[in-house]
Amino acid sequence: MSIKAGDKMPSGTFGVMTESGPGAMSTDDLFSGKKVVLVSVPGAFTPTCSMNHLPGFVDQADAIRAKGVDTIACMAVNDVFVMNAWGKDRGVGDDVLMLADGNGEYAKALGLEMDASGFGMGTRGQRFAIVVDDGVAKHVAVEEPGKFEVSKAEAILAAL
C-alpha cells in the first residue's frame, strides 16, 4: 500500500555525504518539527531527472522556502557517492539535500518502489514529491509511468 496524505512517514535512514565522508540521516532528523518537500527520482544522471526534475527544485528553491518549507530533499535509489556527484554536477549547493536510498528500502517503505529491471536498473523509486509537515504526509504527488507533471517543482509550489 502506498503512502497517502494524512499518513505518518515511515521511519528509515538515508545516506548523506558529509565533510568527513559518507554518513547517515534518520527520518526523525529530516522530518521532526520541519516542513519538508521530499522529491524522488528514478535515478541520478537520467535524462528527465537531470534536465528537468532536480533543476526545477533548484530554480524554485527560494519560492518554495518562502511558502514555509524548511528543507527540499531529493532521494533516489543510488549510493551516497552518486547522489553527491549528481548534486555537484547539477549545482544544487545548499538548495537541495541529496539523499541516497541505496537499497531502495525507503521507497519500499513508502510503497512507491518500481521494477526498472527492463531498463537494466533493478528496483528503483517512482517519480514523486511529498510535502511533509512534522513527519506527516500532507500532499502526495506520484507520477504515472512516463509522465512528469504532478511532482515537478511548479506543481508542488502551487500545492503549497
Long-range CB contacts for residues 48-51, cutoff 8 Å, separation at least 24: 48/127, 48/148, 49/76, 49/127, 50/86, 50/89, 50/90
Active site residue 49: yes
Compute the half-sphere exposure of residue 71: CA atoms within 13 Å on the CB side of its CA. 20
Nearest to 97 by CA among 18, 151, 5, 10: 18
Rounded CA separation 76/48 (Å):
13
- The 3-state DSSP class for residue 117 equals helix
Q: Which three cell numbers stand for residue 83?
A: 547522489
Q: Which of 9, 38, 39, 49 is catalytic?
A: 49
Q: Which residues are catalytic?
A: 49
